[in-house]
A and B are shown apart, each in its own frame.
Chain A
Amino acid sequence: MAVNLAQEKNYTADEMMIIAASRMLKSDDVCFVGIGAPSAACNIARLTHAPDITLIYESGTIGTAPDVLPLSIGDGELCDTALTTVSVPEMFRYWLQGGRITIGFLGAAQIDKFGNINTTVIGSYDSPKTRLPGGGGAPEIASQAGQIYITMKQSLRSMVNEIEFFTSFGHGKGYDDRQKLGLKTTGPAALITDLAIWKPDPLSKEFTVTHLHPGVVPEDVQANCGWQVKFSETFSTTPEPSLDELKVLRDLYKRTEEAHKTS
């Protein structure tokens, strides 16, 4: 299993996931950041290979550079270090709907093979088994950001054949479903899990494994995924985390842990 080899090499599957996700980002990206793993990945990118990346949180902070990871999308640290902070209506109207965001980086409670996301409900909407927080900014991020990256841990519960509620639209039922809705944005372009990197098939738009993280075998990916996994014919191995990437990530987590303890 992935974790064993990762431990031998002295890094965890989670660390591999965050670092692999961070590598997707470029210095000239304008990235709308989701909380949790996406926030960690975006800040690792900023602290390593993409120092000029513009990070935007939905609380209105534009060009933020937090020293520790925020617990919420609106921690004071985000505002203190931002280029500017705008109101929430301005954020959603001028910046997101206005088409100024190149990447929306999201997490997901439940996802299907076309990158459709459920963060609303498990069970039926009217009498739910588990009521989840809901969409927040995600429904419009998913349709209005230039493209969408998603990062999440794999499990049979989270990667399912059919999601129970379409909170945020990915590629629908695949192929040209986005164009049929009149959407001009790309939609889900990468899924980074603790086991693999997935990209949509150019035609069907189904997520296909392009990279396995070091030590992971295809059976691991299938065992933790609710749909029949497709592998790219040319899939390869994700490069291991560098010492520098690991150091930056661990320092960030350490600073974050201490900050959240005292405040």
Chain B
Amino acid sequence: MANFTSLEKAVDAVMSDGVCVAFEGFTHLIPHASAHAVIRKEYRNLTLVRMTPDIIYDQMIGMGCASKLIFSYAGNPGVGLLRRLRDAIENQWPVALEIEEHSHAAMANAYEAGASSMPCAIFKGYAGAELKQVNQNIKTIHCPFTGEELVAVPSIQPDVSFIHAQKADKKGNVLIEGIIGIQKEAVLSATKSVVTVEEVVDELKTHPNAVILPHWTVDYIAEVPGAAHPSYAQGYYDRDNAAYIEWDQISADRTRFQNWMVENVMQQTTDIFAKRVGFLAKDKLSKKSEH
């Protein structure tokens, strides 16, 4: 049942050292505010799950929150490499990071299996790919009917999943629109979930096939306008591409990274996100702030 609360209270309720946690959002609707709230609480030894560990995982890894990463593409989308993640893998800085690496197809199937309460996902994949040799969690099985060779990977069932969405109604039903990625599966596969939304509305006013998480599938909802920045929220504000490009320089140096994190994350509160998207906002948000 969805509880409306502050993001900080939701984080306290679901997080502890050593849990397996997913923050999902496929380029769109990335839950940056949630990641920052978790970083501020200095959790340790987390197993982080994310198909595309971009800036938020670069930040969490660089701040020493994680001991393991399960992922399928570790890049700054359209810009280049993730320098904090590289430093952890190549130089064990600030701590060593164990990795379990998959392809997108495998992770997508594994989340779907997790949401379906299946122990593993079965699909066609990894043909001739060397990841099979370095990841013990990629196994070959045969179709019991045709004998065809297939691949199995364990399902993903995180202790906690964080996502960001456009809207919740007052009951706590959540609407996700645009590039919907893997967020529905991330919530349905997790033991506990936290959803930040751009706004809470009286009615979702949607169409019959909209992507909805019913209120009884979500544990905590926090209204955090701008929570995806520098990612975006379709209908609210655009992607801050300049911030992604700038991250490449911020993350290139350990000291500059740490200073940036102190100033922009550790010494901030969740409210800052609404201000960060002001200049990117579409009509929707500016109309709301005029009220």
Contact = CB atoms under 8 A, between A and B. Distances in A.
A binds B: yes
Interface stretch (A18-26, A83-91, A149-157, A239-247): A83-91
Given A59-B27, A76-B239, A133 B75 contact: yes
Given A76-B178, A140-B104, A134 B127 contact: no
A66 interface: no
Interface stretch (A46-54, A160-168, A196-204, A209-217): A160-168
Contact of B28 (A76, A92, A128, A166): A76
Given A71-B239, A131-B89, A136 B73 contact: yes
B3 interface: no
Nearest to B126: A139
Interface in B209-251: 211, 232, 234, 238-242, 244-245
A85 B130 CA distance: 31
Contact of A139 (B51, B90, B129): B129
Interface in B108-132: 108-109, 111-112, 123-131
A194 interface: no
A167 B130 contact: yes
A208 interface: no
B53 to A, nearest CB: 10
A165 B123 CA distance: 23
B130 A79 contact: no
Interface stretch (B5-13, B181-189, B200-208): B181-189
Contacts of B232: 76
A139 B125 contact: yes
A174 interface: no
Contact of B73 (A60, A133, A181): A133
A97 B129 contact: no
A58 interface: yes
Contact of B241 (A71, A86, A134): A71
Given A131-B85, A134-B101, A136-B103, A88 B73 contact: no
A10 interface: no
B78 A79 contact: no
B105 A139 contact: yes
Contact of B104 (A88, A132, A142, A261): A88
Nearest to A138: B103
B248 to A, nearest CB: 12
A250 interface: no
B77 interface: yes
Interface string B140-159: 00000000110000000000
A187 B270 CA distance: 48
B34 interface: no
Interface in B22-37: 26-28
- Name the residue in B78, B86, B128, B244 with the highest tally of chain A Cβ atoms < 10 Å from its Cβ: B128
- Name the residue in A137, A140, A143, A166 with the highest tally of chain B Cβ atoms < 10 Å from its Cβ: A140
Given A89-B109, A97-B105, A133-B74, A74 B90 contact: no
A73 interface: yes
B130 A75 contact: no
- Name the residue in B51, B104, B105, B239 with the highest tally of chain A Cβ atoms < 10 Å from its Cβ: B105
A134 B90 contact: no
A160 to B, nearest CB: 15
Nearest to B178: A79
A84 to B, nearest CB: 11
- Name the residue in A86, A128, A166, A181 with the highest tally of chain B Cβ atoms < 10 Å from its Cβ: A166
Interface string B50-86: 0110000000000000000001111101110110011
A72 B129 contact: no
Contact of B77 (A71, A120, A166): A71
A54 B80 CA distance: 27
Nearest to B83: A131
Contacts of A134: 71-75, 101
A97 to B, nearest CB: 5
Complex A-B, nearest 4 residue pairs according to Cβ-Cβ distance, in ascending order: A74-B27, A169-B128, A133-B75, A72-B77
Given A79-B234, A125-B130, A135-B103, 16 more contacts: A60-B26, A60-B180, A71-B79, A73-B77, A85-B179, A87-B180, A88-B108, A89-B109, A97-B123, A128-B90, A134-B74, A139-B127, A140-B125, A142-B127, A166-B129, A182-B127
Interface of B: 26-28, 51-52, 71-75, 77-79, 81-82, 85-86, 89-90, 101, 103-105, 108-109, 111-112, 123-131, 134, 148-149, 178-182, 184-185, 211, 232, 234, 238-242, 244-245, 280
Interface of A: 35-36, 58-61, 70-76, 78-80, 85-89, 91-93, 96-97, 116, 120, 125-140, 142-144, 165-169, 172, 177-178, 181-183, 260-261, 263
12 contacts: A74-B26, A74-B28, A76-B179, A78-B179, A86-B180, A92-B108, A131-B86, A133-B73, A135-B101, A136-B104, A137-B103, A260-B242
